[in-house]
Amino acid sequence: MDYTEGKMGRVFIVRVDHDEDILIELQDLAKNENIKSAFFYMLGAAGSADVVTGPKEKSLPPDVDMTSFDDARELLGAGNIFLQDGSPKIHLHAAAGNRNGMIMGCLRNHTKVFMVMEIVIFEITGITAERVYDKDIGFSPLRFYQ
């Protein structure tokens, strides 16, 4: 385990509109507002998304199981923003469901809003953290620097 301590910075209240891509909008906002470390939660509806629903088998690096949906689903999610290679990287996990069932996992590639998505972003200041790719485990865990 590794950890660091920071302080609450700015708070952003964000509305992402119909057919906009959540991941692109969050990344653009982070660049425009120079957000280097943050946590966010969101609620609304998504019209389509690609979702990593876990590894196909319990092994490292994982061979991920990807599923998609292209129908309107209510969505509740949480994620964070940290830099990777100097650019904001969005890590977003969510549950999305409708009468046809639920999908839960890590949203990737595209995430189109249906109607509206409301997001609250809590910036974290006083820390130096970034995502660094580790080829042995196949993803980019957070690294903290003093």
Domain architecture of the chain: domains with CATH? 7-145 (3.30.1330.80)
Q: What are the residues whose beta carbons fall under 8 Å from the beta carbon of 15, sequence distance 6 or more? A: 116, 117, 118, 119
25 — pLDDT class (breaks 50, 70, 90): very high
* pLDDT tens-digit readout, 101-145: 999 999 999 999 999 999 999 999 999 999 999 999 999 999 999
Report the pLDDT value the prediction gives residue 146, as an integer from 0 to 100: 76
| Beta-sheet pairing, 37-55 with 128-131 | unpaired
* pLDDT tens-digit readout, 55-106: 999 999 999 999 999 999 999 999 999 999 999 999 999 999 999 999 999 9
Tokens of 45: 């509806």
Report the pLDDT value the prediction gives residue 139, as an integer from 0 to 100: 92
Pairwise CA distance, residues 74 & 37, whole Å: 27
